[in-house]
Chain A
């Protein structure tokens, strides 16, 4: 589904991704861990098409298409979704209105029927239940005045509405209480159908108890320096990153 080859990217002239390789197949869940500042959000931003990030080399292919050549909106329509680490507040744009526009844009591009207000409401109610979201929240402006946890929940709600093929969750678990963590995970698991794929960026192996990954990768200094199974996450939890860093530095030397 997604093939990243030797991806190099920089921001403000500073190289952050330094030759990153990753292959995600349909139905798989990949967890990406790694120390602060290693480039995890940068990878997510590059995949979503944020223009501040300059791609200096490598390729990203999504379902046969050159992803890097597509506008952010076209990536979304093709089925890529990013749950932001820091979702922005957009005063004056109602959550419901915004989502209706987004859902219908995505549906249009997939050749699906456009939802009228009634059908949209039905779908919204059903998905709201999934993430136990309050009705009042959908009527408010996008993320405006939402607590940290509410913002994250809203990201998963949007994911549930847009039904993407590939979802990238950037630290969706940070700032969530135990209940919210379960709710958010349920939202993700409900979408798992053997075809959809997920890239889950997290610092905590706890999330991976709920969303069980097929692979765990460690991103360090702009490269994936180690990959393994769920066991790797447990090992990291126990031992920290020092041994990985040492291994990586040794290899580089």
Chain B
């Protein structure tokens, strides 16, 4: 048995509902069924990684997969309606909001008027015949070596697809609200997204992750693929506010063509165990890419951010800022890789990871990893871990602000610096509100 994976019997059990859906994709069923089978086989071989695997060193998955997770029901009636879905809206009234309840698109709860010309959004079943979908679906996220990508590819059903035609600019934010809402224990929910922004197009996409029925253990496994065409601009946000009973592993793969721009903000507040994998592939010259992340942990939460920016081509710019606030007995992990390949001359790559530990029992493992094979590059990285700035705290108190409020002000300022980089004002406001809410709860405990 391979010692870097957990007993394959457990891995197998995650595939036990594989045959529940074999005819979802109409004419294209055979094509996608092949992909599914291939991925299922891969997952069987890969199994669930142990801590002996360098990429999973600080994250112990074995307690999690002692549970026998079953696939979420494909037939359970929807409970969320348009009115109750409002609680998930984060991007204002004009946003195009799709509600995906337990991994299935709930149209009745979604807030979608007629889509603007040049924009198609639908499930994989609905858009399976589009040549672009076949070209890109499951072609970028790595199902060969990443077990959870393989698992997701085998088990996801209502993948959400966004197709943005050439030169189309969409002002309204597209939001996918992924809501887990189950009354059963040990349910696994696969979530899948594919965004294709063709040449010269521009859009803003938000993925938000929520839980309605908070007391049940669920395993959310999400994979997103984002294809940014030449000169295209994609603004992205991933908002994680799931319940304390949620285990969440996601892969976000971005492929950028030349002269494109990408900006992603990742806000992690929820889940008991969270692993974010973000991989940005710069496959064309003159790309610009921003990765901003904020993780705020309390209680016994564990959050692991693994990022990779792969500079494969010359003249690209990447800038990464990840910040963490870690309280109580929680555990934060940051691993940021930057590859600069041999051909990627004139690369500018910056990375910064800053953490505040709010309690003596909180911990952070941070590891920047730069692998540079080109000689004419500008790269910098830095990681800091500290406590609250005592000088600043005294300054605020000396002006009459009580210690708890002064601490709250400073904590909020530290964290808000990430959110303030979000371009959409409406989204920024929502995120600041979510942050304040979490910080307030943390202060009360």
Contact = CB atoms under 8 A, between A and B. Distances in A.
Nearest to A106: B400
A102 B395 contact: no
Interface stretch (A30-38, A91-99, A206-214, A224-232): A91-99
Interface in B141-159: none
A65 to B, nearest CB: 16
A93 B309 CA distance: 31
Contacts of A141: 413
B401 interface: yes
Given A50-B394, A72-B394, A101-B405, A91 B399 contact: no
Contact of A82 (B398, B402, B405): B398
Contacts of B389: 88, 90
A105 B401 contact: yes
B401 A93 contact: no
Nearest to B391: A88
B390 to A, nearest CB: 8
A51 B396 CA distance: 14
Given A71-B403, A73-B403, A77-B400, A91 B417 contact: yes
B397 A93 contact: no
Contacts of A142: 395
Contacts of B395: 84, 87-88, 90, 142
Given A73-B400, A77-B400, A92 B417 contact: yes
Interface residues of A, number: 31
Interface residues of B, number: 22
Contact of A72 (B392, B397, B417): B397
Contacts of B402: 71, 73, 105
Interface in B395-434: 395-403, 405-406, 409-410, 412-414, 416-417
Given A71-B403, A90-B410, A98 B398 contact: no
A102 B401 contact: yes
Contacts of A50: 394
B240 to A, nearest CB: 22
A91 B397 contact: no
A62 to B, nearest CB: 14
Given A98-B409, A101-B405, A92 B398 contact: no
Contact of B396 (A81, A84, A90, A103): A90
A162 interface: yes
B392 A90 contact: yes
A82 B395 CA distance: 9
Interface in A36-72: 48-51, 71-72
B398 A90 contact: no
Given A91-B413, A92-B414, A93-B413, A98 B399 contact: yes
A75 B394 CA distance: 12
A44 B274 CA distance: 48
Nearest to A99: B399
Contacts of B405: 101, 105
A223 to B, nearest CB: 25
B398 A76 contact: yes
A105 B412 CA distance: 19
Contact of A101 (B391, B394, B401, B410): B401
A109 interface: yes
27 contacts: A49-B397, A50-B394, A71-B403, A72-B397, A72-B398, A73-B401, A77-B400, A88-B389, A88-B395, A90-B410, A90-B413, A91-B413, A92-B412, A92-B417, A98-B401, A98-B409, A101-B401, A101-B405, A102-B396, A102-B400, A102-B401, A105-B400, A105-B402, A105-B405, A106-B400, A109-B400, A141-B413
Given A73-B401, A102-B399, 10 more contacts: A72-B394, A73-B406, A91-B413, A101-B401, A101-B409, A102-B396, A105-B401, A105-B405, A109-B400, A162-B400
Interface of B: 389, 391-392, 394-403, 405-406, 409-410, 412-414, 416-417
Interface of A: 48-51, 71-73, 75-77, 81-82, 84, 87-88, 90-93, 98-99, 101-103, 105-106, 109, 141-142, 158, 162
List the 8 closest pairs (A to B, CB-CB), nearest first. Answer: A92-B413, A76-B400, A102-B399, A72-B397, A105-B400, A106-B400, A73-B397, A93-B413
